[in-house]
């Protein structure tokens, strides 16, 4: 195993999905082989990520430099705590989602499955690129690849509605990234002369706070994947995608790439101290807070389950954005932990929604009364996911919310504290009734139907993620250590 250096492992996390694409395309004729390729690739990637985690824990610095396009502009990668969290989450969840997808796609008789798996692999590959990028430029490239590779997934159904959703998706994500994000990157490069993620920020002392403030605004709006209002519209629009896509990409990979980028920018481009000085930080913080509340309120009014979950995601993402904007150590730690916690919680919920769809063909919340008796495992998992999103023990979500709260306290941001409290209440209001209703007895006179669960691979997948929510409550230590080491 000597030849498998950490550097190689890091590159392989990106290359294996790309190789898998070739495998998927070549074996597209036969379903079983094609899916086997996907599973094997995801297993390899997971192994690689865990290997990298061990390396990282051992304190070995891993850096890879592909090529330098211009002085100060290079494609290079580095292993670092925040990226490690993101990569771990993505690696674990890819495997799980592949299993889930196999069950879902087969029982749903979707077409163009080869394209689906190929794009899926590409998307995951670029997620690792985002996670390990050592500078803003590299991150930007993979960020864009992620956008482009997920477009075919969003429009997978090929219907007019899917096209419309896809166009909104692409329009907002590409539009914000080119108009604001790229502009902000160029501005940063121009002001600081580098795009390298550096502890404590890259801006030289004495940089005008006006310029810095303007750049921060551009970044926050430009990273459209973080879905801060008013650029959140793409997320509900993308819900036309098949559920595994919504689950992995729009609850985990894509949106998390967004907030991850923001956390990186806040911590390593601006630096917490500089962030504190900027005049626009507070305003953006209020905006993030408002996003949290407004998105929750909208979520309450959605009857479509996936739409409701989507708005819930919008709301939760703004937690992380707010965590970055708090500009305190605890805020960053909480934000980073929330990436993982929310990922497991939300993906459970999406898995459940998809399971309900393929088994009972129900999409609306109002139809769900009593289904808990038909799908007990699924709805139990849903309950756990709900608790994690709300932030109640015994689920992992309670930890990240705790750190966010303490971050707000550190920063004396009573407003954000209030927002967090209020939003937890709102979460309870719009999520908890679903599992509770599900276990209500069916309406009078209707016979209790027999148990009819989702296909086995899907069921396993959602049980696993639900379990993870619980495990993360009991063993948050490794995650916490990683998150806490970000700012050191």
Partner 1 sequence: MIVHLSVLQVIIPLIAAPICLLLRKSELAWAFATLVAFMTLAVSVALLSQVMQSGPVSYELGGWEAPWGIEYRVDMLNAPLLVLISAISALALLASRTSIENEIPENRHTFFYIAWLLCMAGLLGITATGDAFNVFVFLEISSLATYTLIALGKDRRALWASFQYLVAGTIGATFILIGIGLMYVMTGTLNMADLAQRLPDVENTKTVFTAFAFLIVGVCMKLALFPLHLWLPNAYTFAPSIVTTFLAATATKVAVYVMIRFIFDVFGFEFSFTHFPLQEVLLTLGIAGIFVASVVAIYQDNLKRMLAYSSVAQVGYIMLGISFASQTGIMATLLHMLNHGLMKGALFLALAAVVYRMGIAQLSQMHGIASRMPLTMAAFLIGGLSLIGVPLTVGFISKWYLVSAALENGWWPVAAAILLGSLLSVVYIWRVIEVAYFKPVSESTPDVKEAPAALLIPMWILVLANLYFGIETSLTVGVSQMAAADLFGGLR
Chain residues binding partner 1 by CB under 8 A are 67, 69-70, 73, 75, 137, 140-141, 144, 152, 155, 158, 163, 170, 174-175, 178-179, 182-183, 186-187, 189-190
Q: Is residue 472 a contact partner of residue 394, using CB atoms and an 8 Å limit? A: no
Query: Which region, left, alpha or beta, applies to residue 443 given φ > 0 means left and ψ of -120 to 50 means alpha?
Result: beta
Q: Minimum CB separation from partner 1 for residue 396, in Å?
A: 36
Q: Is residue 355 a contact partner of residue 375, using CB atoms and an 8 Å limit? A: yes
- Measured from the CB atom, is 278 or 438 closer to partner 1? 278
- Measured from the CB atom, is 25 or 470 closer to partner 1? 25
- Measured from the CB atom, is 174 or 471 closer to partner 1? 174
- Comparing CA positions, the residue from 295, 222, 302, 206 lying closest to residue 261 is 222
Q: Minimum CB separation from partner 1 for residue 28, in Å?
A: 13
- Measured from the CB atom, is 158 or 441 closer to partner 1? 158
Q: Minimum CB separation from partner 1 for residue 271, in Å?
A: 21
What six digits make up the tokens of 233?
Answer: 């519209």
- Measured from the CB atom, is 119 or 284 closer to partner 1? 119
- Measured from the CB atom, is 75 or 309 closer to partner 1? 75
Angle at 329 between CA 327 and CA 333, to 5 degrees: 105
H or E element at residue 74: strand 73-78
- Measured from the CB atom, is 67 or 447 closer to partner 1? 67
- Comparing CA positions, the residue from 345, 290, 346, 297 lying closest to residue 322 is 290
Q: Minimum CB separation from partner 1 for residue 1, in Å?
A: 32
Q: Is residue 96 a contact partner of residue 464, using CB atoms and an 8 Å limit? A: yes
CA gyration radius, the chain:
21
The 8-class DSSP code of residue 391 comes to T
Q: Minimum CB separation from partner 1 for residue 291, in Å?
A: 24
Return the sign of the alpha-carbon dihedral for residues 322, 323, 324, 326: positive
Residue 182 DSSP SS3:
helix
């Amino acid at each position: 195993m000597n030849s498998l250096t950490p550097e190689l492992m890091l590159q392989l996390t990106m290359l294996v999905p790309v190789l898998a694409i070739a495998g998927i395309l070549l074996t597209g004729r036969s379903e079983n082989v094609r899916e086997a390729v996907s599973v094997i690739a995801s297993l390899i990637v997971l192994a690689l990520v865990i290997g990298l985690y061990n390396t990282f824990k051992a304190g070995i610095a891993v850096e890879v430099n592909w090529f330098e396009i211009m002085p100060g502009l290079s494609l290079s990668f580095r292993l670092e705590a925040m990226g490690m969290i993101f990569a771990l989450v993505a690696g674990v969840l890819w495997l799980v989602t592949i299993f889930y997808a196999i069950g879902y796609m087969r029982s749903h008789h979707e077409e163009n499955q080869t394209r689906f798996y190929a794009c899926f692999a590409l998307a995951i590959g670029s997620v690792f690129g985002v996670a390990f990028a050592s500078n803003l430029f590299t991150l930007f490239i993979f960020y864009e690849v992620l956008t482009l590779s997920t477009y075919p997934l969003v429009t997978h159904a090929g219907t007019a509605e899917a096209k419309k959703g896809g166009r909104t998706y692409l329009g907002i994500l590409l539009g914000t990234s080119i108009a604001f994000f790229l502009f902000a990157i160029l501005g940063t490069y121009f002001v600081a002369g580098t795009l390298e993620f550096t502890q404590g920020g890259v801006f030289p002392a004495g940089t005008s706070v006006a310029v810095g403030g303007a750049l921060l605004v551009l970044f926050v709006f430009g990273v459209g994947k973080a879905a801060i209002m008013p650029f959140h519209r793409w997320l509900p629009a993308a819900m036309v995608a098949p559920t595994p896509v919504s689950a992995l990409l729009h609850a985990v990979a894509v949106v998390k790439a967004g907030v991850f980028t923001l956390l990186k920018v806040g911590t390593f481009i601006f630096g917490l101290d500089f962030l504190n000085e900027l005049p626009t930080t507070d305003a953006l913080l209020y905006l993030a807070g408002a996003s949290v509340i407004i998105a929750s309120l909208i979520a309450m009014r959605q009857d479509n389950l996936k739409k409701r979950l989507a708005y819930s995601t919008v709301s939760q993402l703004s937690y992380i954005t707010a965590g970055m904007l708090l500009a305190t150590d605890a805020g960053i730690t909480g934000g980073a932990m929330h990436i993982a916690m929310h990922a497991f919680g939300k993906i459970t919920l999406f898995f459940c929604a998809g399971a309900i769809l393929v088994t009972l063909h129900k999409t609306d919340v109002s139809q769900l009364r009593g289904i808990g008796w038909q799908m007990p495992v699924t709805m139990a998992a849903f309950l756990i996911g709900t608790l994690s999103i709300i932030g109640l023990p015994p689920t992992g979500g309670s930890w990240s919310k705790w750190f966010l709260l303490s971050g707000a306290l550190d920063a004396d941001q009573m407003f954000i504290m209030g927002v967090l409290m209020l939003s937890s209440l709102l979460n309870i209001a719009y999520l908890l009734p679903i599992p509770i209703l599900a276990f209500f007895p069916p309406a009078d006179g209707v016979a209790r139907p027999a148990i009819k669960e989702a296909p086995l691979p899907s069921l396993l997948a959602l049980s696993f993620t639900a379990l993870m929510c619980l495990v993360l409550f009991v063993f948050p230590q490794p995650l916490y250590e990683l998150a806490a080491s970000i700012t050191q």
